Structure 1
Amino acid sequence: MSFTLKHIEGPISKEINLPSSKSISNRVLIIQALCDKKFKIENLSEADDTKILTQALQLKNKNINAGEGGTTLRFLLAFLTTRESECKLSGSKRLMQRPNEPLIDALKKLGGDIERKKNHWLINGRNLAGGMLNISASISSQFISALLLVAPTFKNGLQLSLKGKVVSSPYIDMTIELMREFGIEVTENEKTISVSPGKYQSKNFSVEPDWSAASYFYELAELNPGSKILLKGLKDDSLQGDRVVAELFEVFGVKSTFNEKGVLIENILTAKSQRHKEYKKLIFDVKDCPDLFPALVVTCAAKKINATFKNTSHLNSKESERANVFAQLLKQLNCSVKQTKNSFSIDAKNFELKNLNLKLPTQNDHRIAMSFAPLASLVSSISFDNEKVVNKSFPDFWKEFKKKNT
């Protein structure tokens, strides 16, 4: 169903309730499923991906559809391969097209029985011996996290050697820290991760808010000089690598101050000073924070800032071919875009919102919708072709985004 977002008048003064971290929620759900004794998870994400994973882990259905969730599918591939039962696992058309072979090959080398059919995988779960394994780390960190989470169940544990350039390494760090928190011994030596066999220890856990979701409100603050937005519940000492968004937006003049309520973000530049602020070409490395690319690139375009994004090769294996889709959308807004296999550059000096009633195809990608929403500060309205696309990670996004100023 289509949805129209009306013009948002700045400066912005709001308190925002962010969703719980989907990344943390999904990892803790796998840990809970592998525990002998269930424990309470507070503030579990309400995102579609997490709801699907929660239901799938109950193992009441032998025919499981992972929907659109890359993490959901990959975590389930590893989990179901180690459970002593047979099931069918599938996902959306786009999800089935995304790269999964390195994980499947790794599971097969460990003794897993996975057979690709036309529209699903047939998995005959069994206990795996584990041992030494090499895997490419240059496509998705989710492969590594999926293997690590189930590794304590292997008779001989797991010695995982990462090959190639490691992308999204903070997500691997998050997985390791959570495993340790629940009692598993994990050691790291350069690009080798060793997991000892053992059992997860049951303990109640509270999921922190999502830093990735915060990026769209940093963007909103940047586009509205004088804005003050409180992002409730966020902490500086977060497990999430995307906490780096606070540092990245400093270059635009958005200041972050942590307090007992969360983080207060302020656009400390006035409209006049922003007009006269000159930016050199900005360079961002998104190897470890690919989910921040959407907010950063749209911010640069809207501020007519030339920018280059390095290490973007894995963006095209997201919910959409994300780099390609952003290139198309930004070109329609009169930006010049140059792409290589591993970089994305924009020349935004001619950026122009020609139509004050902008129409945006979301390509079934939640981050496209959320990153373009702040442009409502610059136009009369933006029409999105799919209102519910944000449910994948932030079901209350529109409600929070449209909150009246306080």
Structure 2
Amino acid sequence: MKLHLTGPSDKHLNETITITGSKSESNRSLLLAALYPAISIENLSNSDDAQVMEQGLKITEGTVDIHHAGTAMRFLTGYFASQEGKEVVLTGSKRMTERPIEILVDALKSLGADISYVQDEGYPPIKIKGKRIVKDKVSLPANVSSQYISSLLLIAPSLENGLELELVGKITSVPYIKMTLALLEEIGVKTSFEGNRIKVSSQDKVASSTLVVESDWSSASYFYSICALSDPGTEITLSAYKKESLQGDSVLAKIYTSFGVETTFGENIITLKKTDKKVSTENEFDLANAPDIAQTIAVTCFGLGVGCHLTGLHTLKIKETDRLEALDTELSKLGASISVTDKTLTLLPTKAITADVSIDTYNDHRMAMAFAPLAMRTTLFVNNAEVVSKSYPDFWNDLKQLHFTIREL
């Protein structure tokens, strides 16, 4: 599906949008509910990723195909490895078979798991024979994707002796680790996180409880971008959000003050307001704890004609696509002066934007959504626009609510 996007003629917006539950929180909650049936979930994400996670958890033998869902791949690897009697082959899309899984597999095998590679060593698909895991100590490099770490932590309370996890080196993506631990605490599991050592106690049963999933801050980022690119006085209200969020991407509220957007917290809502504050021309952000908003920030800066230097982006190389190279390619097509390394992105201020460029999305939902706000400043095309269903199926309809003109070609 190819879309042609034109922004609203009136750049002074005033709308309210309800955003689906966080994909990150939903997938963690689904795994915990599979381990402990006394748990129920509210405001579950309607994303493709959450759906394949939910379906995958119901399978006891045969092939589990998680398509493009990296979170599901990592979380289900830990889950099936610890489920005695279940035997599956965990696979996904062509891109998924190019995304490394070896660090997590090695950690699980050191605990006694039975996992083997079906094709290429270190990559999916993988064959898993579930076993009772009794070993309780394991170590991982601290700078790996937090999903590897969370995969181990989520199954930890169901293991016979719990788990003690040592992280070697400087830890990245701390908010996502803390999100996992907070959810474990919420269902009554004892945890500790001191220095580079995390401990999770074993727990046979938990009390009946309901996990209420907060809406997705990554999805909110696109409305922060729209607000930043709109006229002063614009107000966009989003629900359902809370000030004390478990999600690392909630740092958006602080970051976007540099672009003239103020955030007001209400009861389960946030209101974004574009002020007449002068936009910062030089912006440097370390996104090691929130890499998923890097694309949005880079595109926002380009649309505003200001520069940025983004660091802490090493995990973007192994996402749905190599997001750094994809940003380099697509922003350059629009006229940007951009350079990337394996973990940084530098954008120089550029005033001119090339119109009617076709943005390629590389099977990456965030490429489609991050570039869409640029329609506030120019007309553009988005190729394979249906990829947004991975995390935010309602995205294009919500843009129409903001008076974007979206024409399917």
Deviation at 1:295, TM superposition (A): 1.1
Instruction: Tell me if structure 1 keeps the 8 A contact 2:4–2:382.
Output: yes
1:72 aligns with 2:72: yes
- 1:241 is aligned, of 233, 245, 248, to 248
Structure 1 stretches of 4+ with a deviation exceeding 4 A read none
Question: Structure 1 length as normaliser, TM-score?
Answer: 0.94
- Secondary structure, aligned partner of 2:95: helix
SS in 2 for 1:402: helix
- The SS at the match of 1:294 is helix
- Structure 1 counterpart of 2:214, from 192, 203, 208: 208
Paired-residue identity, %? 36
Give yes or no for the alignment of 1:167 onto 2:165.
no
CA pair 384-54 structure 1, distance change in 2 beyond 3 A = same
Q: What's the CA shift for 1:278?
A: 6.3
Q: Is residue 2:228 matched to residue 1:222? A: yes
**1:250 is aligned to 2:257:** yes
Task: Report how far residue 305 of structure 1 moved.
Answer: 1.1
* CA root-mean-square deviation: 1.5
Output the amino acid matched with 1:400: D
Residues 59-91 of structure 1, C-alpha deviations (whole Å, 9 max, x = no match):
255210011111100000000001122111101
Decide which moves more: 156-165 or 195-204: 195-204
Q: Report if the CA contact (8 A) 2:40-2:209 is conserved.
A: yes
8 Å contact from structure 1 (residues 334, 348) kept in 2 = no
Aligned-partner SS, 1:130: coil
**Distance between the aligned counterparts of 2:220 and 2:354, measured in 1?**
28
CA contact 1:7–1:376 (8 Å) conserved in 2: yes
1:1-400 correspondence runs (5 A): 1-9=1-9, 10-35=11-36, 37-59=37-59, 62-84=62-84, 85-118=86-119, 120-201=125-206, 202-226=208-232, 227-260=234-267, 262-269=269-276, 277=278, 279-349=280-350, 351-355=351-355, 357-379=356-378, 381-400=379-398
2-structure distance, mates of 1:57, 1:361: 32
Answer whether contact 1:130 1:151 (CA < 8 A) is retained.
no
Contact 1:170–1:288 (8 Å) recurs in 2: yes
Superposition deviation, residue 199 in structure 1: 2.8
Deviations along 1:365-388, whole A, 9 cap, x unmatched?
A: 111111110111112x32211121
| Equivalent-residue separation in structure 2 for 1:135 and 1:382 (angstroms) | 43
- Specify the alignment match of 2:406 in structure 1: none
2:317–2:342 contact (8 Å) kept in structure 1: no
CA separation of 1:278 and 1:168: change in aligned 2, threshold 3 A = closer
AA partner of residue 363 (structure 1): Y
Amino acid at match of 2:222: Y
Amino acid at match of 2:200: V
Contact (CA 8 Å) 1:286, 1:311: kept in 2 or not?
yes
Task: List gaps (5 residues or longer) in structure 2.
Answer: 404-409
Following the alignment from structure 1 to structure 2, what is the Cα–Cα distance between the partners of residues 60 and 242?
A: 34
Q: Distance in 2 between matches of 1:354 and 1:299?
A: 15
Output the CA distance in 2 between the equivalents of 1:130 and 1:122. 21
8 Å Cα contact 1:219-1:374 kept in structure 2: yes
**Retained in 2: the 8 A contact 1:43–1:208?**
yes
Compared CA separation, residues 114 and 261, structure 1 to 2 (3 A): closer
Instruction: Measure, in 2, the Cα distance between the counterparts of 1:386 and 1:341.
Output: 26
Secondary structure of the residue aligned to 2:39 is coil
**Change over 3 Å in CA distance of 1:153–1:39 after alignment to 2:** closer
- What is the TM-score normalised by the length of structure 2? 0.93
With over 3 angstroms needed to count, the CA separation of the structure-2 counterparts of 1:368 and 1:161, relative to structure 1, is same
* C-alpha contact (below 8 Å) 2:227/2:272 kept by paired residues: yes
Cα distance in 1 for partners of 2:146, 2:74 equals: 10
User: How much does 1:286 deviate?
Assistant: 0.5
Partner deviation per Cα, 1:324-361 (whole Å, 9 max, x = no partner): 11011122222222223332111133x53222x23111
* Contact 1:40 1:205 (C-alpha < 8 Å) held by counterparts: yes
Report the count of equivalent residues: 395
Contact 2:333 2:354 (8 Å CA) reproduced: no
**Secondary structure of 1:25's aligned partner:** helix
Matched position secondary structure for 2:335:
coil
1:78-137: CA deviation from partner (whole Å, max 9, x where unpaired) = 000011221111011111211211000000000000010126211111110132211012
Q: Is the 8 A contact 1:183 1:199 kept in 2?
A: no
Match of 2:407 in 1: none
> 1:307 Cα shift?
1.0
CA distance in structure 2 between the aligned counterparts of 1:378 and 1:75, rounded to whole angstroms: 39
SS in 2 for 1:93: coil
